[in-house]
Structure formats: structure tokens, C-alpha cells
Amino acid sequence: MASLSLNLSSLHHTSINPLILRCTPLNLRTPSLKPFSIRSQAAPVLSQDDLKKLAADKAVESVKSGMILGLGTGSTAAFVVDKIGQLLSTGQLSNIVGIPTSKRTQEQAASLNIPLSTLDLHPRIDLAIDGADEVDPNLDLVKGRGGALLREKIVEAASSSFIVVADESKLVSGLGGSGLAMPVEVVQFCWKYNLIRLQGLFKELGCEAKLRLVGDGSEKPYVTDNGNYIVDLYFKNPIKDGFGAGKEISALEGVVEHGLFLGMATSVIIAGKTGIEVMTK
């Protein structure tokens, strides 16, 4: 109506033919309907990091205020540490003490204001949560591709409960079955001598032993937080007797620790595309 009033006032007192107002009808025609279809949308595909975070969040549900916690190392364990830091900052957890399994985890936890200590001061740990590189049907593990196997094994062996978090890609029918590295930490002295001996132990399994390097094309050996080297073992066939293999590796002089974590996990939380599965013995 404002537009109409403006037009009328502009025509007042002018000598023109009688005003004829023509109202242009609104376009009331029914618009032509276009055919449409409803397409069902597939559920979003979860990335490997999404699955790791799901497993981590489930594991942290077991954390209670006042606990002494073993804090693992690696990409999945990092999600656990993040979640614990978040719950502490919001007051949903309190009086937590963390025992980190690597310098990397120590730095992450400190940045999140998680109180930290050592196994020397807290020799009994209520719960450890860590990732795994391989998980077999007996809940035996390969760990240490992140380079922290020695400290991980010490902390997790001192824990009353040890929860493993992983995505479904870590499941294997037998240890070594992924074809990826099974690490052995060795002293720097005569490392090549031990590399040859380790490869010889598992010759029938098609084992290939390699010194772990820093990466990025560098020929510089990777050095652990403990000042040692890592020899990675690659198996063409899975290890048949994990406990026997562990004993043979440990019997070699100069071997510090191996990445076979046998009989240690109390439960394993696996995140897959169909949901969360909790495996227990």
C-alpha cells in the first residue's frame, strides 16, 4: 500500500486523463512441479582416527577419580590422554596421577595439566590404557611401533588392569600376521650382530630384520627414550608360539626388550564400522 499511496500523491493536481488504475493480478498460476526422488544417504564413513577416538572414549569410562593411571604412547593413546585432560579440566575427574610411558606422552599430559609422577613413587598402578599394533584372538599383542615398548611394558606390567584400545585394522589371526614390524629394543653396542641373530631365530617364518631409522630418507638410526636402537622384525608367516618366541629373543645378550606383550591385557576395546566391541578373557 505504501507504493500505491506514493503513486497517487505524485498524480495530484495534474491535468491528465481520468485516472485508470489497473491492478496487475498476482501470478497465481500453480508452478509446474518437477519430479523429485528421495535418496537414502549412507552413514558417514568413519576414518581410522574416528575409530581410535571411539575406542579411547570407551576406555576412559573406566577411569575413576583418585586413580593412578598408566598413560600409553601412540596415536590411539593420545586420544585417551586428551580425553582425561578434558575431564580433569571440567571437574568430571579429580585427583588423577598419570605415569607416562614416553617423553612424548609426558609432554602431552603436562600440556593438559594432568598431574604426573613415576613408577618409583607409585609402584602400584590402578589402570593402564594403551594402544596396540596387533591383537590376536587370545588378546596377546604386538606393541612398540611407536618406539616406547620398554617403558610401556614396565608400566603396564605394574598395573592391576590393562585396557587396550585399537581399531579393527589391528586384529590378526596370529602375532606377526600383519606383515608389519615387531620391534626389539637392543643396546647400540654390536647391534648388527644381534640383528643377524634375531633374523636367524625365525628363519623358518621368513623373517627379515631391519634396523629402524629416523625416517625421511635419513640413514640415522632411531634412538629410543632409553638410548637404545630398535631392530624391527617382519614376518611372512605368523609366530606360532608367542611365549616361546619371547623367551628366545630375551635370551640373546644385548636384547633389552621385545614387542610381544603376552598375557598382559585384561580387556581390549575394538572400534569398527559396526560399533564398539569389548573383548575380555
Residue-wise over 85-101: b if at least 16 C-beta within 10 A, else e? bebbeeeebeebbbbbb
DSSP bridge partners of 55: none
List of residues 6+ apart from 157 with CB closer than 8 A: 264
| Strand bridging mode 208-211 / 229-234 | antiparallel
Contact 77, 165 (CB under 8 A): yes
List of residues 6+ apart from 80 with CB closer than 8 A: 56, 59, 60, 71, 72, 129, 130, 165
Q: At 143, list the grid cell.
A: 606393541
The residues that are catalytic are 152
C-alpha distances in angstroms, 136 versus 21, 112, 244, 265?
87, 33, 16, 11
Q: Tell me, what DSSP letter sits at residue 100?
A: E
